[in-house]
C-alpha cells in the first residue's frame, strides 16, 4: 500500500504548525519572513522529516502491514562515537568530537526500501572549522544546520530504492561511489568532498551526499548506471583560519611582494536544471576481469581562484566553477593470492594556478589525465598488503604553473587481524615523489564486543610546505577514539 507523509501529518494536525514556523504556507498569516524563512524551511523540514517523522510513517506502515502478513520490516540503527586528537608538536587539542548517527531502514513489499540517516556532531575544540563556516559552496537544501560554532546536524542519507521491470531506481540524498583506490581519488569524484580533516576521514564520512536520481539498467551482460544530480554542491574547502586550510601554492595563489589579495565570494552555480550533473557507468565481467567505463559531465568540484588585476596592486580573487567532461574506466582481476586493479580518468578542462606575471587571470587551462595502478596481496592469513602508484599529468605544456606537470605518489598499506578479527593493526604510508613529502598513519583497533570498538593511532605529515602533504607538517596528531553501535 502507498503512504503519503504529508497526509499523515495533516491527520496529526502538524502540517500547518510546522510550515507556519519554518516556511511559507498558504494557510499561514503573513509574518514578514523573507529568504531566511525559506532557507530555514528547506533545512529544518527536511531534517525533522528525515530524522524524526519518518519513523512515525514507518510505524504506521508496519501497523497497516500487520493485516497483510507483516510485509513491512523496520530496522533502527544508532552509532555514538567520540574521537580526540592532540597535535604532536605541542600537545594542543585539535579536536574532541562526539558524533551521533541515528538511522532507519524500512523494507516495504515488492522490494521497495527507504533509508534515512542523520549526523549530530559536537566538537569541543572548534579548531577544524572555527566559528561558523560560510557553506557558500553548498546548495541550501544540502547545508548542515549549525546550532553554534561547536555543534551541527546534517541529513546524511534520505533515499528510496524502487525496483521495476526494466531498472532499479535510487532516488534521494545519497552517495555515488566510483573507483577503487585507497587514500587518494581518481574516479571517485561524483560526490564532492569535505576537507575539514584533509584526507584523514574515511571516504564514506568525507563525501558530501547529494540529492540524486540514479537508475541501474541491465543491458544483457552489461549493467548501465545513469546518474542525474540537480544538487549544486561542491567541495567544502577549509577557511584560512582552520587547522587544515590549504597553504601550498599549488592550491592557493600567493601574492607577490607589493601586491594585496582580496577574496571575493565564490560564484556558485545554483540552477538545479541547467547546472545539474549527469553521468553514466557501464560495468561488466569479461573473462575474469571486472571492467567499467565511466563518463561524467559536471562542474569541477574545486573552485578556481581567478585573479582580477584591474585595481593593481590590489588583486581580487574571484572564485568560479567550470564544467568538464570526465572520461575514464576501471579494471581488476584476481591471480592466485594477488589482485591487480587500476583506474584512469581524463578531464577535458582543468585549471591550474600560474605565477606567470604576464598571465591575465593567474590561471592556465589544460586537459588533465590521472591514473592509479594497484596490487593487493592476500597470501598470508588475515593479512593484506597493498601498493599503489598514482600519477597526475597536465596534458598541455602550460607556462608558469605552480605545480609539476607530472606528479607521482606511491602508497603502501599493511593490515593484519588477530584474535578472530577482534584486533586489527594497520599502517598506511603515502609518499609524494616530486617534493619528498608524505603521510604515515599507524593505527590499532580493538573490538571489545560486537557493539564497542576502541582505536588509537597517529597521522604524521612531513616534507616541504609546497607539497600536498608537507603543507600540513605542523598538524601531525595523535588520535584516540571509542564507538558504540546499537
> pLDDT by residue (tens digit) across 160-217?
999 999 999 999 999 999 988 999 999 999 999 999 999 999 999 999 999 999 999 9
d(CA 477, CA 95): 10
Q: Is the pLDDT of residue 1 over 80?
A: no
Task: Report the pLDDT value the prediction gives residue 14, as an integer from 0 to 100.
Answer: 38
According to the model, what pLDDT value does residue 44 have?
52
Apex 333 CA angle, 332 and 334, nearest 5: 140
Q: Is the pLDDT of residue 143 over 70?
A: yes
- pTM: predicted TM-score of the whole model, two decimal places: 0.86
CA atoms of 279 and 325, how far apart (whole Å): 10
List own/partner pairs for 412-418 with CB under 8 A and 24 or more apart.
Answer: 412/385, 412/386, 412/387, 412/388, 413/182, 413/183, 413/384, 413/385, 413/386, 413/387, 414/383, 414/384, 414/385, 414/386, 415/383, 415/384, 415/385, 416/380, 416/382, 416/383, 416/384, 417/382, 417/383, 418/382
Place 310 in a pLDDT band, splitting at 50, 70 and 90.
Answer: confident
pLDDT band at 70 (very low <50, low <70, confident <90, very high): low
Please report the pLDDT score of residue 2 as a whole number: 41
Percent of the chain topping pLDDT 90: 78
Hey, what's the torsion of the CAs at 294, 298, 300, 304, to 10 degrees? 150
Mean pLDDT for 327-351 is: 97
The pLDDT-based confidence of 46 (bands split at 50, 70, 90) is: low
Share of the chain above pLDDT 70, in %: 86
Contacts of 394 (CB under 8 A, 6+ apart): 350, 352, 366, 368, 401, 403, 405, 406
Q: Give the cell for residue 60.
A: 504506521
pLDDT over 60 at 49, yes or no: no
pLDDT at 59: 53
Is residue 138 within 8 A of residue 236, CB to CB? The reply is: yes
Indicate whether 23 pLDDT > 50: no
The distance of Cα 145 from the centroid of its chain, to the nearest Å, equals 17
| Cβ pair 77, 119 in contact under 8 A | no
Q: Which of 375, 369, 371 is nearest to 388 (CA)?
A: 375
At 313, the pLDDT band (50, 70, 90 cuts) reads confident
Averaged over 295-319, what is the pLDDT?
A: 93
pLDDT tens digits, residue range 83-129? 999 999 999 999 999 999 999 999 998 899 999 999 999 999 999 99
Q: Which residue has the cell 558524533?
A: 99
Render pLDDT for 365-421 as a digit per residue (tens, 0 to 9). 999 999 999 999 999 999 999 999 999 999 999 889 999 999 999 999 999 999 999
- Sheet containing strand 304-308, edge to edge, reads 260-263, 314-320, 304-308
Q: What is the pLDDT of residue 399?
A: 86
Cell digits of residue 79: 552509532
Residue that is written with C-alpha cell 525496483 in the block: 163
User: What pLDDT score does 13 carry?
Assistant: 40
Q: Residue 40: pLDDT above 60?
A: no
**Which residues are CB-contacts of 7 (< 8 A; sequence separation ≥ 6)?**
none
What Cα–Cα distance (Å) separates residue 147 from each residue in 19, 47, 90, 275? 20, 13, 30, 30
pLDDT at residue 51, rounded to an integer? 52
pLDDT tens-digit map of 24-38: 333 343 344 344 444
What pLDDT sits at residue 56?
52
Cα(188)–Cα(167) distance, rounded to whole angstroms? 23
What's the mean per-residue pLDDT of the chain?
88
Q: Indicate if the pLDDT at residue 350 is higher than 80.
A: yes
Amino acid at each position: 500500500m502507498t503512504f503519503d507523509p504529508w497526509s499523515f501529518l495533516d491527520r496529526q494536525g502538524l502540517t500547518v504548525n510546522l510550515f507556519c514556523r519554518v516556511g511559507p504556507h498558504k494557510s499561514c498569516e503573513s509574518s514578514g519572513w523573507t529568504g531566511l524563512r525559506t532557507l530555514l524551511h528547506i533545512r529544518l523540514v527536511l531534517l525533522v522529516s528525515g530524522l524524526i517523522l519518518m519513523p512515525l510513517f514507518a510505524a504506521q506502515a508496519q501497523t497497516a502491514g500487520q493485516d497483510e502478513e507483516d510485509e513491512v520490516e523496520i530496522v533502527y540503527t544508532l552509532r555514538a562515537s567520540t574521537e580526540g586528537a592532540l597535535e604532536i608538536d605541542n600537545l594542543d587539542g585539535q579536536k574532541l568530537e562526539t558524533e551521533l548517527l541515528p538511522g532507519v531502514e524500512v523494507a516495504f513489499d515488492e522490494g521497495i526500501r527507504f533509508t534515512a540517516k542523520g549526523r549530530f556532531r559536537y566538537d569541543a575544540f572548534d579548531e577544524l572549522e572555527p566559528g561558523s563556516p560560510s557553506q557558500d559552496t553548498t546548495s541550501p537544501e544540502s547545508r548542515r544546520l549549525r546550532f553554534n560554532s561547536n555543534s551541527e546536524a546534517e541529513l546524511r542519507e534520505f533515499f528510496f530504492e524502487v525496483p521495476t521491470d526494466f531498472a532499479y531506481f535510487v532516488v534521494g540524498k545519497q552517495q555515488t561511489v566510483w573507483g577503487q583506490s585507497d587514500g587518494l581519488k581518481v574516479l571517485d569524484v561524483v560526490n564532492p568532498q569535505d576537507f575539514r580533516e584533509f584526507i584523514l576521514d574515511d571516504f564514506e564520512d568525507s563525501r558530501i551526499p547529494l540529492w540524486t536520481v540514479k537508475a541501474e539498467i541491465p543491458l544483457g551482460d552489461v549493467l548501465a548506471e545513469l546518474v542525474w544530480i540537480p544538487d549544486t554542491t561542491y567541495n567544502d574547502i577549509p577557511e584560512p583560519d582552520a587547522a587544515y586550510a590549504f597553504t601550498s601554492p599549488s592550491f592557493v595563489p600567493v601574492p607577490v611582494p607589493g601586491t594585496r589579495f582580496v577574496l571575493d565570494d565564490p560564484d556558485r552555480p545554483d540552477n538545479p536544471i541547467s547546472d545539474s550533473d549527469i553521468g553514466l557507468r557501464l560495468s561488466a565481467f569479461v573473462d575474469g576481469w571486472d571492467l567499467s567505463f565511466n563518463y561524467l559531465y559536471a562542474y569541477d568540484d574545486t573552485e578556481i581562484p581567478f585573479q582580477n588585476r584591474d585595481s593593481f596592486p590590489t588583486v581580487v580573487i574571484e572564485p568560479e566553477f567550470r564544467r568538464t567532461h570526465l572520461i575514464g574506466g576501471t579494471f581488476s582481476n584476481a591471480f592466485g593470492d594477488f589482485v591487480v586493479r587500476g583506474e584512469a580518468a581524463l578531464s577535458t578542462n582543468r585549471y591550474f594556478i600560474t605565477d606567470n606575471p604576464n598571465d591575465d587571470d593567474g590561471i592556465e587551462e589544460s586537459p588533465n589525465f590521472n591514473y592509479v595502478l594497484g596490487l593487493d596481496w592476500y597470501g598470508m592469513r588475515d593479512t593484506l598488503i597493498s601498493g599503489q602508484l598514482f600519477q597526475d599529468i597536465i596534458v598541455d605544456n602550460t607556462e608558469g604553473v605552480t605545480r609539476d606537470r607530472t606528479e607521482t605518489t606511491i602508497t603502501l598499506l599493511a593490515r593484519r587481524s588477530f584474535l578472530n578479527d577482534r584486533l586489527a593493526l594497520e599502517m598506511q604510508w603515502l609518499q609524494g615523489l616530486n617534493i619528498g613529502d608524505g603521510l604515515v598513519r599507524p593505527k590499532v583497533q580493538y573490538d571489545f564486543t560486537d557493539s564497542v570498538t576502541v582505536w588509537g593511532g597517529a597521522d604524521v605529515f612531513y616534507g616541504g610546505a609546497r607539497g600536498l602533504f608537507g603543507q600540513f607538517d605542523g598538524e601531525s596528531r595523535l588520535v584516540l577514539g571509542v564507538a558504540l553501535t546499537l
